[in-house]
């Protein structure tokens, strides 16, 4: 059963949070941090537990098949083929998998961005220590200042001989969408590859790995995918997968790695080839409940359509942004619609502590967060345009109490 079989009572509707009956916040605008699970997600997790509780090990094939189906849907989400995806436990795990499996040569240079979320930095630093790489940082602020100068600075770095560039599709604090396609074209023109952390994009901001020439992409499930923690996926371009070294392989990464459990004696071997596919990263048993949750949520997202979700979130932000600016906040949102995600990051008026302000706004029932000192609002499909009034009232009340 898929969550789309659950009937109209479980259908997602823009601006309707009836699938989140227990949600405490009056306005939940914090999907860039962690999404609350919808009722279909909670039910999907319960179904997995119930099936193992009644059937034990014989439930396993059901959930293995479910994960294959999920990959088909994830492929639709990012414009890929299902066979180019592997399921992982987090964005970080996907970054690490590529960092450890990439066919490095000592002295290779990796270009990162100062100001990025550390998930897309630490694994490359560890790979640098392990494989003798050189890490180079470019300022992420370049990307905010304008596409042209940022791409020129990147090209200058690529001309020095970089092997891989790692960047986020959407910056976690400003919400700026990175010009991935232009970056990938530049990387490829200079013999480098592009790794994209898409956890702040997938589910609410369109991503097409093939159209934008992405080589690798990792995404966790607990933010805009609206699934749960402990889930994620990795995309590896079919042009790159054969060159990967299977450094993270486990017992389930082999071709026919599982037959010895079911097909009688003489099948236990250690020399079967490791799959030269993205799913080589699925080396052991996976988070069955988490991936059932991901499919249930993804069914809702695909039914609404990511383009429409992006437009809906931006209609909310179009109303919220000027209201905050008129109160002395500085918006970090791009004037260019093509560079907008579903995040609005603002800096508070002079002299106002963002931490104190956000604590007060949250206490008034408006869930938001403060990454890197930025006040961040991140609405998704269940938010309604009418909620903007509630956000602004909470901000006014919080400001007047400071
Ligand atoms: C851009 C970015 N990448 C990665 C992460 C962390 O992802 P994960 O916990 O799935 O590794 C976050 C936020 O938590 C983020 O904002």
Whether residue 310 lies inside any domain: the answer is yes
Looking at the structure of the chain, the number of domains it has is 2
* Rounded Cα gap, residues 301 and 204, in angstroms: 8
Q: Which residue has the CA at smallest separation from atom 2 of ligand 1?
A: 117
Output the 3-class SS for 8-67. HHHCCCCCCCCCCCCCCCCEECECCCCCCCCHHHHHHHHHHHHHHHHHHHHHHHHHHHHH
pLDDT lower than 70: segments of the chain? 1-9
CATH number at residue 352: 3.90.1150.10
Residue 266 pLDDT: 94
Q: Compute the distance between CA of residue 340 and CA of residue 333 in angstroms, rounded to an integer.
A: 7
Q: Give residue 326 CA to ligand 1 midpoint distance, Å.
A: 31
Same domain assignment for residues 133 and 275:
yes
Tell whether 254 and 352 lie within a shared domain.
no
50 part of a folded domain: no
Q: Which residues are within 8 A (CB) of 44 and not within 5 positions of it... i.e. 6 or more apart?
A: 3, 289, 292, 293, 295, 296
CB 196 within 8 A of CB 226: no
Do 175 and 199 fall into the same domain? yes
In the β-sheet with 375-377, what is the strand arrangement from edge to edge?
330-331, 344-347, 375-377
What is each CA distance from 367 to 1, 250, 269, 362, 383, in whole angstroms?
33, 40, 52, 5, 12
- Take residue 113 and report the two structure tokens written for it: 């961005």
282 lines ligand 1 (CB under 6 A): no
Residue 217, ligand 1, Cβ within 6 A: no
Domain shared by 254 and 322, yes or no: no
Asked whether residue 149 is assigned to any structural domain, the reply reads yes
Q: What is the pLDDT of residue 8?
A: 54
> 265: CA distance to ligand 1 center in Å?
44
Backbone angles phi, psi at 104, to 5 degrees: -65, 150
Asked whether residue 52 is assigned to any structural domain, the reply reads no
Residue that has been written with the tokens 């294959």 in this structure: 68
User: Cα separation of 31 and 226, whole Å?
Assistant: 8
* Ligand 1 lined by 233 (C-beta under 6 Å): no
**What residues contact 68, with CB distance under 8 A and at least 6 apart?**
82
Answer yes or no: do 225 and 252 share one domain.
yes
CA 290 from centre of chain: 15
pLDDT of residue 145: 84
Are 290 and 237 in the same domain?
A: yes
Give pLDDT, residue 3.
42
d(CA 89, CA 162): 29
18 within a domain of the structure (yes/no): no
Domain match, 314 and 288 both: no
C-alpha dihedral over 144, 149, 151, 154, to 10 degrees? -100
CATH number of the domain to which 227 belongs:
3.40.640.10
Q: How far does residue 263's CA lie from ligand 1's centre (Å)?
A: 41
Task: Looking at the structure, tell me whether residues 313 and 232 fall in a common domain.
Answer: no
pTM of the complete model beyond 0.95: yes
pLDDT computed for residue 288 by the predictor = 98
* 215 & 85 share domain: yes
Query: Do residue 252 and residue 313 come from a single domain?
Result: no
Domain boundary among 301, 316, 347: 301
Token pair belonging to 207: 């991503």
Contact (CB, 8 A) for 23 and 392: no
Tokens of 137: 């940082």
Distance CA 59, CA 50 (A): 10
User: Tokens at residue 152, please?
Assistant: 């020129």
The dihedral sign for the CA sequence 363, 367, 369, 375? negative
Phi and psi dihedrals of 186, rounded to 5? -65, -45
For the stretch 10-29, pLDDT in tens is 799 999 999 999 999 999 99
**Is residue 13 assigned to a domain?**
no
Q: Is 96 in the pocket of ligand 1 (CB under 6 A)?
A: no
Structural domain that includes position 318:
25-34+306-401
- Final residue before a domain boundary, out of 279, 301, 323: 301
> Is 199 near ligand 1, meaning CB less than 6 Å away?
yes
Centre of ligand 1 to C-alpha 119, Å, is 6
CB-based contacts of 52: which residues, under 8 Å, 6+ apart?
59, 288
Best of 91, 175, 341 to mutate for ligand 1, by most ligand atoms within 8 A of CB? Answer: 91
Phi-psi region of 264 (alpha: psi -120 to 50; beta: other; left: phi over 0): left
Atom of ligand 1 nearest to the CA of 221: 10
Answer yes or no: is the C-beta of 168 below 6 A from any ligand 1 atom: yes
Residues 6+ apart with CB under 8 A from 145: none
Q: Are 200 and 127 contained in the same domain?
A: yes
For residues 230 and 286, membership in a common domain is answered with: yes
Residue 172 near ligand 1, beta carbon < 6 Å: yes
Domain boundary among 301, 334, 361: 301
Distance CA 215, CA 239 (A): 8
pLDDT of residue 9: 61
Would you call 386 exposed, middle or buried from its count of C-beta atoms within 10 A (0-12, 13-18, 19+)? exposed
To 10 degrees, what angle do helices 306-325 and 387-401 make? 30
In a domain, 347, yes or no: yes
- CA of 349 relative to ligand 1 center, distance in Å: 28
Alpha helix (H) residue ranges in 190-305: 288-304
> Is residue 51 a part of any domain in this protein?
no
């Amino acid at each position: 059963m898929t969550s789309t079989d659950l009937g109209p009572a479980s259908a997602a509707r823009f601006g309707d949070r009836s699938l989140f009956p227990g949600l405490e916040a009056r306005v939940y605008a914090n999907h860039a941090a962690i999404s609350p699970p919808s009722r279909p997600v909670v039910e999907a997790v319960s179904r997995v537990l119930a099936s193992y509780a009644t059937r034990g090990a014989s439930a396993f094939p059901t959930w293995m098949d479910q994960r294959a189906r999920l990959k088909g849907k994830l492929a639709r989400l990012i414009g890929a083929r299902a066979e180019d995806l592997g399921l992982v436990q987090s964005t970080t795990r996907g970054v690490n998998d590529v960092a450890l499996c990439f066919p490095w040569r000592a002295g290779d240079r990796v270009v990162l961005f100062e100001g990025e979320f550390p998930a897309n930095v630490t694994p490359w630093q560890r790979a640098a220590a392990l494989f003798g790489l050189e890490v180079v940082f470019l300022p992420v602020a370049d990307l905010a200042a304008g596409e042209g100068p940022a791409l020129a600075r990147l090209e200058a770095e690529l001309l020095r001989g970089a092997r891989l560039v790692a960047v986020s599709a959407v910056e976690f604090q400003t919400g700026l969408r990175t010009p991935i396609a232009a970056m990938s074209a530049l990387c490829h023109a200079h013999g480098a590859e592009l790794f994209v952390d898409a956890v702040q994009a997938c589910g609410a901001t369109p991503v097409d790995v093939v159209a934008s020439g992405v080589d690798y992409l990792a995404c966790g499930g607990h933010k805009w995918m609206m699934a749960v923690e402990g889930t994620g996926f990795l995309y590896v371009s079919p042009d790159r997968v054969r060159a990967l070294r299977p450094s993270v392989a486990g017992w389930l990464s082999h071709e026919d790695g599982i037959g010895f459990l079911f097909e009688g004696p003489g099948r236990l071997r250690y020399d079967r080839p490791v799959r030269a596919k993205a799913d080589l990263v699925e080396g052991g048993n996976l988070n069955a409940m988490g991936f059932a949750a991901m499919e249930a949520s993804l069914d809702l997202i695909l039914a609404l359509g990511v383009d429409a979700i992006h437009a809906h979130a931006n209609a909310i932000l179009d109303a919220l942004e000027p209201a905050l600016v008129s109160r002395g906040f500085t918006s970090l949102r791009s004037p260019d619609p093509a560079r907008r995600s579903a995040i609005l990051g603002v800096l508070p008026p002079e002299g106002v502590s963002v931490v104190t302000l956000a604590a007060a706004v949250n206490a008034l029932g408006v869930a938001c967060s403060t990454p890197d000192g930025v006040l961040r609002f991140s609405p998704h499909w269940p938010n309604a345009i009418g909620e903007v009034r509630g956000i602004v009232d909470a901000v006014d009340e919080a400001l007047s109490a400071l």
